[in-house]
Amino acid sequence: MIAYDLSARGRTSLYAFLYERIRDDIIAGTLAAGEKLPSKRALAQNLGVGVNTIALAYGQLVAEGFVQAQEKRGYFVADVRDIAPVSSHRPERLPVEEDEPGCVMDFRANRLNLDSFPIDLWNRCMRKAMLDGGTRLYQTVPYAGLPELRNAIAEYLHRSRGMHVSPACIVIGAGTEYLLMRLFALFGDNVGFGIESTGFKKLILGASKFHARAVIVPPKPSDDLFDIGDDLDMDRLRGTDARLMYVSPANRFPTGRVMPASTRSDVLRWAYEKPGRYVVEDDYDSEFRYAGRLTLPLFAEDGRDRVIYLNTFSKTMVPSLRIGYMVLPPELMDAYRDQQGFYSCTVSSFEQFALAEFIDSGAFERHMNRMRNFYRKKRKALLKALRESPLARRSTIEEYAAGTHFLLRVRTDLKRTDITQKGERLGLRISFFTDYSICDIDMPGQVTLVVNYAAIDPGRIDDVVDRLCQVFES
């Protein structure tokens, strides 16, 4: 008769504990193939448990093929020689990644100060989404996203960016990179897209993974070899078969410059010259401008439906909220629906409902106003500390009162690897212009840092600047 010590089951239910013990004995050969098991009643009496408990355990064993039930004969051990024995070895658990000990400041561009995010308000929106979403929370999400979020985004773009957008032309997706992948697929394999030589290094180097081909558009020639230049050499793009031009006119990362009116006109003119050409406008970080008015998007200037608008909530909300969106011209939206309408949206309905509530309630715009003031004060304090530091004698700050970063050009003979290592020893993770651009703008004896200040604790600005000065000390 089978006997097991039921006191060893811990928090495991009785039926699950018995199922596991019998299964392990079958796999180990303790219970041989063809051997008859005790009847449900007999085993229940022997173990002092209910018959239903044994019935559940036997039922699970039969369902998984470990036991065969024969009518009027009982339960028999199945032949399971092809089943691998259960290993007692538990998989090694992955460690939880945390900031490295001693890291005081991370200047990399994807870092934010999460203390300023209204987590209680966001939690309230998530609770409301859970309560109001009903069965729609558990259904397949429409390919372009939930109407509630698309409506909220369209109204927000009208209020904040002066854009007249049909919600029907908005596509929700898990971040800009995913949306670009879907967009490039719409134009076919190996589609050529123009991109500034100083822009989005990851997109340029990873173009083939998107089944696309990057066409580098350099600045127009300048007498100053080390001037990045604002105007683009669009004639270089005209000589190619590129059908798309990727730009970020409101904040050209990593320079932070605003695209001048002449270049904006050139870009739109290129798109209008031939059918099938489009401008892809990435409006990332455009919400953060600290002087003057927000730059009007190209989308709002376009009168011929040749601009595709992209943006994301990863910088304005939190990085883990992988929600981006693109606004397609009506003709492209029809093609997208026909070609890719079978895809499910990659953002959960729960997050979409919550974000729609966050926007519709006015919480998002109030949050943005607070963040602009927060970053403006932090930027001012950091720039003041740098200009009053010993580093000021050997550096130049290039900033355009926008975004959450600026460029710091330092005169030094140190190599970038040496600067990185010294920075790490002092608790700083330093990033360079060349980390984000294929274009190296540094002349000999100079290095350009990208100083992302979004994650800096305002109370540690002086400490951070002091450590940065130490990096470049002789």
Q: What confidence tens digit (pLDDT) does each residue in 168-197 have?
A: 999 999 999 999 999 999 998 889 999 988
Cβ-in-10-Å burial (0-12, 13-18, 19+) of 398 comes to middle
Reported confidence tier of residue 225, pLDDT bands at 50, 70, 90: very low
Mean pLDDT within 246-268: 88
pLDDT, position 440: 77
83 pLDDT above the threshold of 80:
no
Reported confidence tier of residue 454, pLDDT bands at 50, 70, 90: confident
pLDDT, position 98: 63
Higher per-residue pLDDT: 199 or 434: 434
Q: Does the bond joining 91 to the residue before it have cis omega, within 30 degrees of 0? A: no
The one-letter amino acid at 27? I
The one-letter amino acid at 389? S
Q: What's the pTM?
A: 0.80
The one-letter amino acid at 329? P
- 5-9, 41-45, 102-106, 300-304: range with lowest mean pLDDT: 102-106
pLDDT, position 252: 83
- In sequence order, what are the residues at sequence separation of 6 or more whose Cβ sits closer than 8 angstroms to the Cβ of residue 212? 184, 190, 191, 192, 193
Mean pLDDT within 30-56: 91
Residue 120 and residue 123: Cα distance in Å, rounded?
Answer: 5
pLDDT, position 89: 67
Mean pLDDT within 85-100: 69
- In sequence order, what are the residues at sequence separation of 6 or more whose Cβ sits closer than 8 angstroms to the Cβ of residue 31? 2, 22, 25, 37, 77
The CA-CA-CA angle for residues 425, 429, 430, to 5°, reads 110
75 pLDDT above the threshold of 70:
yes
Q: What confidence tens digit (pLDDT) does each residue in 139-158 have?
A: 889 999 999 999 999 999 99
pLDDT, position 291: 74
Q: Under CATH, which architecture does the 117-366 domain have?
A: 3-Layer(aba) Sandwich (3.40)
- 143-152, 336-345, 398-407: range with lowest mean pLDDT: 398-407
Q: Dihedrals φ, ψ of 420, to 5°?
A: -60, -45
- 148-152, 157-161, 338-342, 401-405: range with lowest mean pLDDT: 401-405
Is beta strand 278-282 parallel, antiparallel or unpaired with respect to 324-327? unpaired
pLDDT, position 229: 58
pLDDT, position 226: 45
Is beta strand 395-398 parallel, antiparallel or unpaired with respect to 405-411? antiparallel
Q: Taking a C-beta distance cutoff of 8 angstroms, is the pair 245, 270 a contact?
A: yes
282 pLDDT above the threshold of 70:
yes
Mean pLDDT score across all residues of the chain: 88
pLDDT, position 369: 92
115 pLDDT above the threshold of 50:
yes
Sheet containing strand 244-247, edge to edge, reads: 170-173, 324-327, 307-312, 278-282, 244-247, 191-196, 212-217
105-111+370-472 folds as Aspartate Aminotransferase, domain 1 (3.90.1150)
307 pLDDT above the threshold of 80:
yes
Reported confidence tier of residue 251, pLDDT bands at 50, 70, 90: confident
- 114-123, 189-198, 286-295, 393-402: range with lowest mean pLDDT: 286-295
Higher per-residue pLDDT: 285 or 23: 23
The secondary element (H helix, E strand) that includes residue 468 is helix 461-471
Q: What is the CATH number of domain 14-77?
A: 1.10.10.10
| Paired residues of 396 in beta bridges | 409
Q: Taking a C-beta distance cutoff of 8 angstroms, is the pair 18, 4 a contact?
A: yes
The secondary element (H helix, E strand) that includes residue 308 is strand 307-312
| Domain ranges for the chain | 14-77, 105-111+370-472, 117-366
Sequence-ordered alpha helix ranges (H) in 187-319: 201-205, 234-238, 261-273, 298-301
Percent of the chain's residues with pLDDT above 70: 94
Q: Taking a C-beta distance cutoff of 8 angstroms, is the pair 305, 331 a contact?
A: yes
239 pLDDT above the threshold of 80:
yes
Residue 460 and residue 174: Cα distance in Å, rounded?
Answer: 34
